[in-house]
Amino acid sequence: MNETINNTAVVQDGKKLSMKFGFLGLGMGGTSIAATCADVRTSIKNNNHPYTALLINSNEIDLTKVQPKNGSTKKIKIGNGKGAGRDISIGENLYKEKAAEISNEVKTQFQDVDYVWLVAGLGGGTGTGAVIQAIGTLLDSGFAGKFGMILTLPRLKEGKTVLDNALQRLQKIGSVMDNLGPILLVDNEKLFNEFSELKPNSSVAEYLEFSNKYVAEALHELNTVTASYLPTGEYHFDSSEFEKLLKTPGLLHFARFTEKATAIDASQQLSYAQKLKDLINEGVLSDGHDLKNAKRLAVSILTDSPTAKRLFTFEFTKTMEDLISEVSPTALEKPIATYQSNDTKGNNVSFYAVFAGLDLPKDRITEMVQEHKKLKDLENVEKEKVDLFAGFKTETPDTTPSAKSFDELFGDSKQNEEVEKTADLKSKLFD
Predicted pLDDT of residue 165: 95
Q: Which residues contact 124 (CB under 8 A, 6 or more apart)?
A: 27, 28, 29, 84, 86, 91, 162, 165
Indicate whether 355 pLDDT > 90. yes
| Cβ count within 10 A of residue 314 | 9
* CA 332 – CA 293 distance, rounded (Å): 10
Query: Structurally, how many domains does the chain consist of?
Result: 2
Least confident of 104-118, 233-247, 308-322, 404-418: 404-418
pLDDT at 426 (0 to 100):
44
Distance CA 83, CA 362 (A): 32
pLDDT tens-digit map of 164-192? 999 999 999 999 999 999 999 999 999 99
Q: Among 101, 170, 102, 163, which residue's Cα sits nearest to residue 134? A: 102
In a domain, 395, yes or no: no
Digit-coded pLDDT (tens) for 269-315: 456 677 788 888 888 888 889 999 999 999 888 888 888 888 888 88
Tell me if 110 is assigned to some domain. Answer: yes
Nearest to 155, CA basis, from 379, 371, 373, 358: 371
pLDDT of residue 429 exceeding 50: no
Average pLDDT for 203-221:
89
Considering the domain architecture, whether residues 81 and 221 belong to the same structural domain is answered as yes
Q: What is the pLDDT of residue 259?
A: 82
Task: Could you list the beta-strand ranges (E) of 58-144.
Answer: 74-77, 115-121
Q: Tell whether the model's pLDDT for residue 216 goes beyond 60.
A: yes
If one counts every other C-beta atom within 10 angstroms of the C-beta of residue 379, the result is 10
At residue 267, does pLDDT exceed 60?
A: no
* Residues 151 and 181 both lie in one domain: yes
Number of other CB atoms surrounding residue 62 within 10 Å: 18
State yes or no: pLDDT of 149 exceeds 90. yes
Residue 339 predicted with pLDDT over 60? yes
- The model's pLDDT over 107-128, given as tens digits with 9 standing for 90+, comes to 999 999 999 999 999 999 999 9
Q: Are residues 175 and 270 in the same domain?
A: no
156 lies in the same domain as 241: no
Give backbone dihedrals phi and psi of 389, rounded to 5 degrees, phi first. Answer: -105, 15
Contacts 24+ apart (CB under 8 A), 375-384: 375/159, 375/160, 375/163, 376/160, 379/160
Give the domain CATH number at 122: 3.40.50.1440
pLDDT at 82: 94
Q: How far apart are CA 121 and CA 334, in angstroms?
A: 31
- The answer to whether the beta carbons of residues 52 and 72 sit under 8 Å apart is yes
3-state secondary structure of 54: strand
Give the pLDDT score at 3: 38
Domain stop point among 201, 225, 249: 225
Residue 354 has pLDDT above 50, yes or no: yes
pLDDT of residue 88: 95
pLDDT at site 212? 92
Residue-range definition of the domain harbouring residue 240: 231-386
User: Do 375 and 252 belong to one domain?
Assistant: yes
Please give the span between the terminal C-alpha atoms of the chain, in angstroms, as a whole number. Answer: 77
Q: Is residue 416 very low, low, confident or very high in pLDDT (cuts 50, 70, 90)?
A: low
pLDDT digits (tens, 9 = 90+) for 2-19: 433 444 455 555 578 999
In this structure, the answer to whether residues 218 and 277 fall within a common structural domain is: no
Please say if the pLDDT value at position 160 is more than 70: yes
Query: Which of 9, 34, 8 has its CA nearest to residue 110?
Result: 34
DSSP state of 86: T
Long-range contacts of 383-391 (CB under 8 A, 24+ apart): none
Distances, alpha carbon 256 to alpha carbons 35, 83, 321, in Å: 23, 37, 17
> What CATH number has the domain bearing residue 279?
3.30.1330.190
In angstroms, rounded to a whole number, what is the distance separating the alpha carbons of residues 129 and 92? 4
pLDDT reported for residue 2: 42
Residue 94 has pLDDT above 90, yes or no: yes
Residues 324 and 377 in one domain: yes
Q: Looking at the structure, tell me whether residues 177 and 288 fall in a common domain.
A: no
Instruction: Specify the amino acid at residue 344.
Output: T
Torsion sign over Cα 77, 80, 82, 87:
negative
Q: Is 269 helix (H, G, I), strand (E, B) or coil?
A: coil
Of 31-35, 264-268, 375-379, least confident by mean pLDDT is 264-268
Establish if 404 belongs to a structural domain: no
59 with 107, same domain? yes
218, 238: one domain: no
Are residues 94 and 200 part of one domain?
yes
